[in-house]
Structure 1
C-alpha cells in the first residue's frame, strides 16, 4: 500500500490539520486519496452516509480528500463516558463500555484484526492512504499494546513523518526525546520531520533545521506557519478551548453551557464566522451573565451533566433567562436536559436501570433511554407549527440513545423526511429543542435565527453567509499554504518509493 503516517511528539501538535492538508493537496493533483486513523478518542463524531459513527476528524479529512467517509477510515472510536470509562464504537456501531484497563486486556486482538481489515479495504479502493497517529508514539506505559501509532505503521508498512509543535516550546527536545525512546526498528521507519506552528522570520530557524538534520539524519520536510482561523474542525480539548477562546467580541452574546462530557461541539463552529456573534463557554453560575441566547449542547452522559448544571448553579440561571424571555436552545442531550424528566430504562446513560431524574422542566416532555443508539443522517423541513416555509430543507445528523416524548401537540420544530415530527418549538422560537446536530450549519436557518436576535436587540439584519462554500475554500487555502512550506516533491517521493520490509 502506498501511504504515509503522520505521528506527533505530543497531542495537539497539528497532526489532524497536516493530514487534512495532505489529503487536499493529493486530491488537487488527481490522486485518489483517503485518510485513516485506526483508533480515535473523541466525543465529537461524524455520521457516514450509511448511518455509522466515526471520529469527526476523519469525516472532515474525507471531505478534504473529496471522497465519502466510511467506517474503514476510523474503525475504532472511543467516546469517554466518565473519567475512567469509554464507549467503544466498532465499525460505526457502539458495542460495549470499557475501563482503560479492560480495553487493553479484552479488546487488543479484536482491535488489531479490524485495523488490518480496514487497511486492506482502503488499499483496494485508494491510491494513497494518509494515516494519522494519536498523542505520542512513545508513551512507555501504553506502548506494548498500542493500536494507533508505530504498530499501525508496521501493519500498513508505510513511512512515518514526525510532527513537532514549535509554538509550545522545547521543539528540539521533543523531537530528539521521541526518537531516542523509539525501538531501533521503529526509528528506521521515521523518514521525515515537520516543524509546525512557526511564527516569525523563518530565516532565524535555518540553523535549527541544519542541526536537526545532522543530529538525526532525517530530513526536515517543512516548517509550517501558525495558521489561525483555518476553520478545520478541532478534535481534542486543547484545540477546542483555543479555537473558541481566541474569537472576537460581537454584538450578539451566545452562552454555550460547557458540559464535562460535551459531544459534537462542532455544532457551534459556524458562529465563529458570523462577524457580529461571540460564543462564550459557561461552566459556572457566576460566569452566566446576561446572554442573548443560551445553548445546551449534546453530551455523552446526559444525567451526569444535568447534575453538573445543578451543582454549578446553572439550572437557576437558565430558568431565569428563559422566564425573562431569553432565547434557549437544547441540542440532543441539551434537549433532554430541558425536559421534565429522564428515565434510564436500559441503564444505557447511567449504568443503573430505571433510574430517574427531574430535568429543568422548561420543555413539557420526558426522555426514556433505551439500549439501541440511533445514528442517522437526517433531512427535514420546518414543521407547520413554526410558521416558517415548509419547503426549505434542513440537513444534519442524529446520534442519541434516548427518545423524547412531548406532552403537548402542535409544538414540533421539524418534520422529518418520512413525515415523523421532531423536536420542540414554542414562543416564535424562544425555546427550541431538537436531536438534529449541525442545525446551525444550515445557512438559511442560522441566518433566520440570528436575525431574530438582531431584531430583538435593535440591530440590522444580516445577509446569509454560506459557510460550506467558505469552508471548502479554506481546504484549498490550507493546502496551498502548507504545500508552499513543504518540500513537497521530496515528500511525494517518500510516499512513492518507500521500500517495503522484506
Structure 2
C-alpha cells in the first residue's frame, strides 16, 4: 500500500526457507497465494480508499469469501472491519468509510495514539503460547458483541486480550493490532503449519526460538567472520 508502515513485521517470514514473500502492487492482479497479509499503514482511510479504487479491496474480499487466508496487522486489521470513521479528520479525511467487512469491528480514529509494548497469551492457532509485540495506532476498534455472542461463535479473540485481535471460526480471517507477531517463532510456525496442511505438506517443528534471537545469532556470526579478516587493533 502507498502508506505502508512497520514492514519489518515480515522479516521473520523472509527468514523461513519454505516461505516466499511477494509484495503485490494493489494495481496488479492478486493471484492465488496461500495467504494475503494487509500490513500496517500510516493512514488507514487513505489506503482503504486506494484499495477500493484499484479494485484490490474487492479482490481480497472475494479471495477470503472463496476460502483464502487473510491476515490484517494494525491498520490492515482496521481495514478488514466493517467501518473506519474519522469524525475529526485526524487523518485528513473526515467521515465514515466502509471497510472490507471481513471482521466484526468498527474503528474510530482519535487524536490520542496508543504506543506500548505488550505481553499476551495466544488462543489461536495454538493455545497458550507466550506472545511479545507492540501496539502503535491512533484508532480505537470496538468488537461487535452480537457477532461474538452467537451460538456458532463465528469469531474468537486471538489472544487473552480481546482488544488485540480476532479470528473467524474457520481460522481463515485474522486481524491483530500487535506488531511483531511473526517475531514469535512458535506462533509463526503454528500459523504457517495451517497453510502447509492445506497444501498437503508436512508440519514444521514449532520448538524454535524467536526471530530476535535468530537475528542476533546471524549478526554474531557475521561479526566473527569479519573479525577474522580485519585488523581491528587500530579501530579499537
TM-score by length of 2: 0.89
Offset at residue 342 of structure 1 (A):
0.8
Question: 1:107-137 deviations in whole A, cap 9, x for unaligned?
Answer: xxxxxxxxxxxxxxxxxxxxxxxxxxxxxxx
The aligned residue for residue 143 of structure 2 is 406
- How far apart, in 1, do the equivalents of 2:201 and 2:27 lie? 28
Q: Name the structure with the higher helix share.
A: 1
State whether residues 283 and 312 of structure 1, in contact with CA within 8 Å, keep that contact through their aligned partners in structure 2: no
Sort the Cα spacing of 1:421 and 1:399 in 2 relative to 1 into closer, same or farther, 3 A: closer
State whether residues 306 and 359 of structure 1, in contact with CA within 8 Å, keep that contact through their aligned partners in structure 2: yes
Offset at residue 364 of structure 1 (A):
1.8
Sort the Cα spacing of 1:387 and 1:309 in 2 relative to 1 into closer, same or farther, 3 A: closer
The aligned residue for residue 103 of structure 2 is 363
Deviating above 4 A after TM superposition, structure 1's stretches of 4 or more consecutive aligned residues are none
- How far apart, in 1, do the equivalents of 2:163 and 2:96 lie? 25
The aligned residue for residue 167 of structure 2 is 425
From 182, 190, 195, the counterpart of 1:440: 182
State whether residues 261 and 301 of structure 1, in contact with CA within 8 Å, keep that contact through their aligned partners in structure 2: yes
State whether residues 413 and 421 of structure 1, in contact with CA within 8 Å, keep that contact through their aligned partners in structure 2: no
The aligned residue for residue 85 of structure 1 is none
Question: 1:253-299 deviations in whole A, cap 9, x for unaligned?
Answer: xxxxxx11111111111111212110000013533111010000001
Question: 1:422-456 deviations in whole A, cap 9, x for unaligned?
Answer: 31111232111110001111111111111101111
Tell me whether 1:375 sits opposite 2:136 in the alignment. no
**Greater relative contact order: 1 or 2 (C-alpha under 8 angstroms, separation 6 or more)?**
2
Offset at residue 485 of structure 1 (A):
4.5
- How far apart, in 2, do the equivalents of 1:349 and 1:328 lie? 25
Question: 1:149-184 deviations in whole A, cap 9, x for unaligned?
Answer: xxxxxxxxxxxxxxxxxxxxxxxxxxxxxxxxxxxx
- How far apart, in 1, do the equivalents of 2:49 and 2:76 lie? 13
Offset at residue 337 of structure 1 (A):
0.6
TM-score by length of 1: 0.43
Question: 1:387-429 deviations in whole A, cap 9, x for unaligned?
Answer: 742x32111000000011121226221123xxx6431111232
State whether residues 125 and 191 of structure 2, in contact with CA within 8 Å, keep that contact through their aligned partners in structure 1: no
State whether residues 348 and 401 of structure 1, in contact with CA within 8 Å, keep that contact through their aligned partners in structure 2: no
Sort the Cα spacing of 1:295 and 1:474 in 2 relative to 1 into closer, same or farther, 3 A: same
The aligned residue for residue 220 of structure 1 is none
State whether residues 294 and 329 of structure 1, in contact with CA within 8 Å, keep that contact through their aligned partners in structure 2: yes
The aligned residue for residue 12 of structure 2 is 270
The aligned residue for residue 68 of structure 2 is 326
- How far apart, in 2, do the equivalents of 1:394 and 1:481 lie? 33
> What secondary structure, in the 3-state scheme, does the structure 2 residue paired with 1:279 have?
coil
From 442, 463, 472, the counterpart of 2:216: 472
Aligned pairs, number: 226
Counterparts in 2 of 1:37-436, with a 5 A limit? 259-350=1-92, 352=93, 354-383=94-123, 386=124, 388-389=126-127, 391-407=128-144, 408-409=147-148, 411-416=156-161, 421-436=163-178
> What secondary structure, in the 3-state scheme, does the structure 2 residue paired with 1:429 have?
coil
Which structure 2 segments of 5+ residues have no match? 150-155
Question: 1:443-483 deviations in whole A, cap 9, x for unaligned?
Answer: 11111111101111111111134333321211212222333
Q: Rg bigger for which structure?
A: 1
Sort the Cα spacing of 1:387 and 1:312 in 2 relative to 1 into closer, same or farther, 3 A: closer
Which structure 1 segments of 5+ residues have no match? 1-258, 493-502
State whether residues 5 and 39 of structure 2, in contact with CA within 8 Å, keep that contact through their aligned partners in structure 1: yes
